[in-house]
């Protein structure tokens, strides 16, 4: 019996529990990275970054990109590989509230030959470091609506060129896909539980559109993305 997803329901996710053992945390991070690779989550925002990187590189400088609430850093790492192959000069920064997640992100980047600047901070309360573009994937469903508005405002203030956000669409299709993929691609019980909780806590496009307007992101573009995601993109005037 599939749940009624007309109303948003946010419950604490296992991975957000500070008492979660490090081994279970690492196992869940690996499982989520595997899900993101399968879903090609990096591809949702990457084409917009390519266009801005070419503008910055043509002007003789790198594009500065900040990934907000990066987790294990798998999405900026995937983008960094694409940038290397395409000859794009991008300087990557990542931030997260979890010191352990940042250690994982830095370690993965170093092993791949990338230098990520890491900032430990709470995106819902702390000021974000200045950047050209700030991006955020699969984070805002963890938040209440006032927190989402605050994060969007913070990203806007930190970004001189643009910001992009991608997350889960609260839908029956998204729930079914999360159930299947989480069990097919990882044995982590944390991911099995959190994948479904994440969909139930997700925002629908109309909801995130209203929050973006409240955050002052006039003219922001919002569209749907596969699989069962939405993408918000705002360009500075």
The predicted model scores a pTM of: 0.92
Name residues whose C-beta falls within 8 Å of residue 170's C-beta, 6 or more positions apart in sequence.
Answer: 5, 8, 199, 200, 201, 202, 203, 204
Give CA–CA dist 13/173, Å, rounded: 21
Residue 228's region, left for phi above 0, alpha for psi from -120 to 50, else beta, is left
Q: Where are the domains of the chain?
A: 29-60+123-235
- Spelled out in words, what is the top-level CATH class assigned to the domain 29-60+123-235? alpha beta
Amino acid 15: pLDDT: 83
Mean pLDDT throughout 204-215?
Answer: 97
More confident residue, 21 or 216: 216
Question: Mean pLDDT across the chain, nearest whole number?
Answer: 94
């Amino acid at each position: 019996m599939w749940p009624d997803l007309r109303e948003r329901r946010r419950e604490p996710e296992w991975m957000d529990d500070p008492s979660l053992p490090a081994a279970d945390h690492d196992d869940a991070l690996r499982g989520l990275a595997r899900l993101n690779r399968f879903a090609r989550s990096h591809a949702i925002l990457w084409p917009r970054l390519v266009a801005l990187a070419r503008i910055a590189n043509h002007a003789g400088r790198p594009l500065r990109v900040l990934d907000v609430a990066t987790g294990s850093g798998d999405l900026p790492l995937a983008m960094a590989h694409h940038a290397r192959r395409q000859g794009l000069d991008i300087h990557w920064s990542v931030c997260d509230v979890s010191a352990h997640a940042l250690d994982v992100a830095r370690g993965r980047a170093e092993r791949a030959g990338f230098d990520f600047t890491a900032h430990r901070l709470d995106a819902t309360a702390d000021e974000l470091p200045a950047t050209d573009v700030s991006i955020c994937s699969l984070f805002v469903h963890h938040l209440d609506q006032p927190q989402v508005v605050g994060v969007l405002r913070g990203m806007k203030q930190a970004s001189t060129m643009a910001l992009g956000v991608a997350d889960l669409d609260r839908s029956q299709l998204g729930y079914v896909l999360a159930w299947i993929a989480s069990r097919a691609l990882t044995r982590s019980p944390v991911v099995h539980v959190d994948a479904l909780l994440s969909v139930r806590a997700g925002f629908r496009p109309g909801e995130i559109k209203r929050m973006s307007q409240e955050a002052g992101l006039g003219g922001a573009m919002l569209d749907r993305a596969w699989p069962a995601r939405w993408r918000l993109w705002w360009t500075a005037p």
